[in-house]
Amino acid sequence: MPEIQLLRASAAASGLRGAKAEGRGFLGVDPVTQNDALLARELTRQGAQVYRAGDTLVGYAPNHEQPRQAFLASTSADPEPIRAVLAFLSTYQRCTSFVAMVPAGAEAAKAFAGCGFEQTGVLRDHRYQSGGYQDVLVLAKGEVPCPS
């Protein structure tokens, strides 16, 4: 896997814009309907961290009500960058459960399936894109024991 590097919010926004269709729905943001400043503000508001590994962007946002849980997102079907983020979150943030909300039909669903995420539901008509409402899949990886 190529080296993984942390991006600042503004760099993450332009990276998502470069990811084209796969950047839509990344942690709930949408580079088509939001400009870079708004993307950066929204990622900062969530406390999200975004990383680049080659052409892939992966990121997480903490669940503020339950700090042992994180919401994850990715822009490609490659599971390796997600594995790296999962290992980081379990070791350094002591996260024990992970959730991904992926637009139906997005490549990222395959990556999360490859990392042991299971589908726990479908949010009907959660997004409006290309002239119609689209579903969002909820994927979860539950209760990994805390390593320490």
Partner 1 sequence: MMLRGYRSGDHGLLNGPWPPGELLGLPLAEWPALAEPASVRPPTDDSEELCVVPGAGFVRYAEIDWVHRRARVEIGLRPGHTEALDLLMKSVTTHGFLGLNLHRLHGWVTPAANPATGALESAGFRREASVPGNTWFDGRPVEREIWAVVRDA
With residue 139 as reference, give the H or E element that holds it. Answer: strand 132-141
Enumerate residues 107-136 that contact partner 1 by CB under 8 A: 120-128, 133
d(CA 89, CA 39): 23
Q: Does 91 bind partner 1 (CB under 8 A)?
A: no
Shortest Å, Cβ 21 to partner 1:
16
Options 3, 65, 132, 148; binder of partner 1; rule CB under 8 A:
65
Distances (CA, A) of 148 to 84, 91, 105: 18, 8, 37
138: contact with partner 1 by CB under 8 A:
yes
Question: If DSSP codes are grouped into helix, strand and coil, which group holds residue 92?
Answer: helix
46 binding partner 1? (CB under 8 A): no
Candidates 14-22, 65-73, 75-83, 105-113 — which segment interacts with partner 1 by CB under 8 A? 65-73
Q: Is 2 near partner 1 (CB under 8 A)?
A: no
- Closest CB to partner 1 among residues 52, 141: 141
Other beta carbons within 10 angstroms of residue 10's beta carbon come to: 14
* Cα end-to-end distance, the chain, whole Å: 27
Please state whether beta strands 132-141 and 97-103 pair in parallel, antiparallel, or not at all (unpaired): antiparallel
Asked whether position 66 contacts partner 1 by CB under 8 A, the answer is: yes
- Are β-strands 49-53 and 69-74 bridged in parallel, bridged antiparallel, or unpaired? unpaired
Does 16 bind partner 1 (CB under 8 A)? Our answer is no
Q: Which residues bind partner 1 (CB under 8 A)?
A: 30, 33, 63, 65-66, 68-69, 96-97, 99, 120-128, 133, 138, 140, 142-143
